[in-house]
């Protein structure tokens, strides 16, 4: 026995919603859609002839329904765009104000950093843009970072290390760095926080 899928399509649901809005008088405000002069002339000719007056009404209803469909689609697009903007702002706030520094590296260069990361190093986020991560480390920590990045590139697994920032070369400050490869494998996702000796155990 053949099974038929009787679920209405998105277009069918849109048409049903538009018809319902027209019937109960709750159609959304007109978004500026207008009938062309040719369409208005056609409607006039059809309405003027008793034999085609019903066709004019059908055509007018079809045009009104299509207009409401367009308005509903436009309203949905605006709702989706607003929701996307709110989600983006939400996750950007979570990223920027996280309790640890987050960095995205590509070929050893910082292509993105959050506010917490910038504060750790005492610079503005823009100062990281396209700069080698080594340039923000004390000289003795640069070989450590180079080996750290090499391990990540070759193994693809997560890794961790301890480095000294360029500010505080006397050894008073150390950072705990953990990182792994991005899902695409092209970038390195790195988290940095103040070093706590208990993290190394």
Average confidence (pLDDT) over 159-164: 92
pLDDT at residue number 38: 59
The β-bridge partners of 181 are: 188
Question: Other C-beta atoms within 10 Å of 118: how many?
Answer: 18
Domain assignment present for residue 159? The answer is: yes
CA torsion sign for 167, 170, 174, 179 is positive
Among residues 56, 75, 83, the alpha carbon closest in space to that of 17 is found at 75
Domain identity same for 62 and 136: no
- Percentage of the chain exceeding pLDDT 70: 60
User: Which helix (DSSP H) or strand (DSSP E) does residue 13 occupy?
Assistant: helix 10-24
- Of 95, 121, 149, the residue that ends a domain is 95
Identify the three-state secondary structure at position 198: helix
What's the CATH number where 153 sits?
3.30.450.20
Domain assignment present for residue 3? The answer is: no
Domain identity same for 104 and 79: no
Domain assignment present for residue 59? The answer is: yes
Domain count, the chain: 2
pLDDT band at 127 (very low <50, low <70, confident <90, very high): confident
Domain identity same for 44 and 112: no
Domain identity same for 114 and 90: no
Domain identity same for 111 and 78: no
Residue 79 CA: distances (Å) to CA of 45, 72, 82:
40, 10, 5
Domain identity same for 56 and 148: no
Domain assignment present for residue 4? The answer is: no
- pLDDT per residue as tens digits for the range 68-122: 777 777 777 777 788 777 766 666 776 677 889 999 999 889 998 999 998 888 8
Domain identity same for 136 and 84: no
pLDDT band at 22 (very low <50, low <70, confident <90, very high): very low
How far apart (Å, rounded) are the C-alpha atoms in residues 43 and 57?
8
- Of 63, 95, 127, the residue that ends a domain is 95
Domain identity same for 125 and 63: no
Hey, what are 172's tokens? 């008073």
pLDDT at residue number 109: 92
Domain assignment present for residue 5? The answer is: no
Contact 133, 105 (CB under 8 A): yes
pLDDT at residue number 59: 64
- pLDDT per residue as tens digits for the range 178-188: 999 988 888 99
Domain identity same for 34 and 70: yes
Domain identity same for 101 and 194: yes
Domain identity same for 37 and 54: yes
CA angle 158, 147, 186 (to 5 degrees): 55
pLDDT band at 154 (very low <50, low <70, confident <90, very high): confident
Domain identity same for 105 and 195: yes
Residue 97 CA: distances (Å) to CA of 33, 58, 90, 126, 166:
44, 58, 11, 16, 23
- Of 73, 95, 117, the residue that ends a domain is 95
Residue ranges making up the domain that contains 30: 10-95
- Percentage of the chain exceeding pLDDT 90: 24
């Amino acid at each position: 026995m053949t099974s038929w899928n009787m679920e209405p399509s998105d277009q069918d649901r849109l048409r049903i919603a538009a018809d319902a809005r027209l019937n109960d008088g709750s159609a959304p405000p007109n978004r500026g859609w207008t009938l062309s002069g040719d369409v208005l002339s056609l409607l006039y000719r059809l309405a003027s002839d008793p034999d085609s007056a019903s066709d004019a009404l059908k055509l007018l209803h079809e045009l009104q329904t299509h207009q409401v469909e367009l308005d509903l689609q436009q309203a949905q697009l605006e709702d989706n765009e607003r929701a996307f903007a709110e989600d983006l702002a939400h996750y950007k706030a979570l990223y920027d104000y996280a309790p640890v520094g987050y960095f995205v590296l590509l070929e050893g260069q910082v292509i993105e950093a959050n506010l917490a990361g910038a504060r750790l190093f005492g610079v503005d986020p823009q100062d990281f843009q396209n700069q080698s991560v080594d340039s923000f480390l004390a000289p003795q920590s640069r070989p450590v970072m180079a080996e750290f990045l090499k391990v990540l590139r070759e193994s693809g697994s997560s890794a961790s290390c301890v480095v000294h920032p360029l500010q505080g070369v006397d050894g008073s400050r150390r950072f705990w760095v953990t990182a792994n490869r991005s899902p695409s494998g092209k970038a390195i996702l790195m988290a940095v926080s103040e070093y706590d000796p208990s993290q190394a155990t």
